[in-house]
Amino acid sequence: MTEPICTRCIYDASVPNIEFDADGVCNYCRQIDELEEKFPNGPAGQVEMDALVAKIKAAGKGRKYDALIGVSGGCDSSYLLHVLTKDYGLRLLAVHFDNTWNSTIATENIHKVTKALDIDLYTHVVDAREFDDLHMSFMRAGVMDVETPTDIGLAATMALAAEKHKIKYRIDGHSFRTEGSAPMGLIYMDARYVKSVHDQYGTGTVKSFPNLWLHRQLRWMLLRNLKTVRPLYHMDYDKEAAKKLLTELYGWTWYGGHHLENRMTTFYHSYLLPTRWNVDLRIIGYAAQVRDGRFSRDEALALMAEPPHVEDGLVEYYQKRLRLSDDDLAALIRLPYRYYTDFKTYKKLFERMRPFFYVMAKTQRVPWSFYIKYTLPHEVVRRENPASLRVPEA
């Protein structure tokens, strides 16, 4: 950790775009305060939730589905499948973007829960070789945003499913209370960025990967009027209780960490980011749980002091699948640092379109967080070349 550390959560001076007020509280904690005020839970949240469900049902009248939801096999999306179906009677379409790196547990979880609840599953499976080429182009480019193809692929798959079934609502499983607020200017993603990186560092052509082009995004926002909503914002969501319930009712299995249901994501969080970038994203979740009173600050700081757990055989699996020798991997980890600003992206265009996206965010056509994070200029913190990095033995 780098001093100063926020007096309320555990964000420290190494978090990008952090500021501390006179009480030593960080701007990310203040963001969460604003969200708490805007999205109360408890009885007031229940009123909001009932109103939201009524709107979604009205929009789904005469159609096969009321809303769609992205599923990963993780706790948040699985719990939402359960609660929105059982307690609120919504007719959901579950949507999955399969980047072919799923853990077996995740795939089984998705099937167990959707089958038991009789929920249809719409899956887009990308061509494995093509996806690995996209992934490796981000690795060779030397940027931090290696998971961008997965995130963009999911967003595009959801929009395609919504278009096909004329669905008006997209359920997003984010909870600021358990997941917190990701630092601004750390991770970046957009369709033009994917193309630009792949044009320079990829080898094959992109055919089965659904990219989220701006013209498509605009069409979905304006013509199809697809709205994104976050039910967990209104709910008293107890993640530990949710895991227990899912295990008892559906035989769902916990895989040991947030975002770890996919092998590539696990490699990214527990190996690549800490090793190459000295970034440990567990801080986001731990900070959220400190703010929410689930951990004490000292407990969270002690957890951060322990290195992230790297699953047995994970790095070997990664290397074997991508045919990378130990030296190849070490060379990728020591590449000069590069940033999304070194490539063609939509960022400047998003900034010029800020007033437009303000209206879109106000009418729920883009998440509020998109408006905050993508339409404002952010400083990219450039770092010293990592050539001298010590790469741990796999």
**Position 6 contacts Zn ion (CB under 5 A):** yes
- What φ, ψ does residue 227 adopt, rounded to 5°? -105, 145
User: How many other C-beta atoms lie within 10 A of the C-beta of residue 266?
Assistant: 25
**Minimum separation from the CB atom of position 88 to Zn ion (A):** 33
Q: Which is nearer to Zn ion, 26 or 139 (CB)?
A: 26
* 5 binds Zn ion per the rule CB under 5 A: no
Contacts of residue 44, defined as CB under 8 A and 6 or more positions apart, other chains included, come to: none
337: tokens are 């640092």
Assess contact for 125 and 206: CB atoms under 8 A.
no
Residue closer to Zn ion by CB (options 141, 300) is 300
| Least distance in angstroms from the C-beta of 161 to Zn ion | 37
Name the one range near Zn ion by CB under 5 A: 10-18, 158-166, 202-210, 215-223.
10-18
Query: What's the maximum distance between 2 C-alpha atoms anywhere in the chain?
Result: 62
**153 touches 99 (CB < 8 A):** yes
State the burial class of residue 175 (Cβ atoms within 10 Å of its Cβ: 0-12, 13-18, 19+): buried
Instruction: Based on the shown chain and the rule CB under 5 A, indicate whether residue 9 belongs to the binding site for Zn ion.
Output: yes
The candidate with the shortest Cα–Cα distance to 342, out of 196, 161, 168, is 196
- Residues 243 and 179: their CA atoms lie apart, in Å, by 15
User: Between residue 19 and residue 48, which ones bind Zn ion under the rule CB under 5 A?
Assistant: 26, 29
286 near Zn ion, rule: CB under 5 A: no
Nearer to Zn ion, 14 or 253 (CB): 14
Tell me the number of residues near Zn ion by CB under 5 A. 6
From 9-17, 126-134, 184-192, 256-264, span contacting Zn ion (CB under 5 A): 9-17
Q: Is 246 in the site for Zn ion (CB under 5 A)?
A: no
* Cβ neighbours for 57, distance < 8 A, ≥ 6 positions apart: 66, 89, 90
Work out whether strand 120-125 and strand 227-229 pair parallel, antiparallel, or are unpaired.
unpaired
Tell me whether residue 10 or residue 360 sits nearer to Zn ion (CB atom): 10
Residues 6+ apart with CB under 8 A from 374: 190, 347, 350, 357
Q: Which is nearer to Zn ion, 16 or 386 (CB)?
A: 16
Q: Least Å distance between CB 24 and Zn ion?
A: 9
Q: Which residues contact 219 (CB under 8 A, 6 or more apart)?
A: none
Question: Should residue 56 be labelled a site residue for Zn ion when binding is judged by CB under 5 A?
Answer: no
The residue with its CB nearest to Zn ion is 6
Nearer to Zn ion, 233 or 286 (CB): 286
Using CB under 5 A as the binding rule, whether residue 11 contacts Zn ion is answered as yes
Stretch that binds Zn ion, among 3-11, 74-82, 106-114, 334-342 (CB under 5 A): 3-11
Q: Rule CB under 5 A: which residues touch Zn ion?
A: 6, 8-9, 11, 26, 29
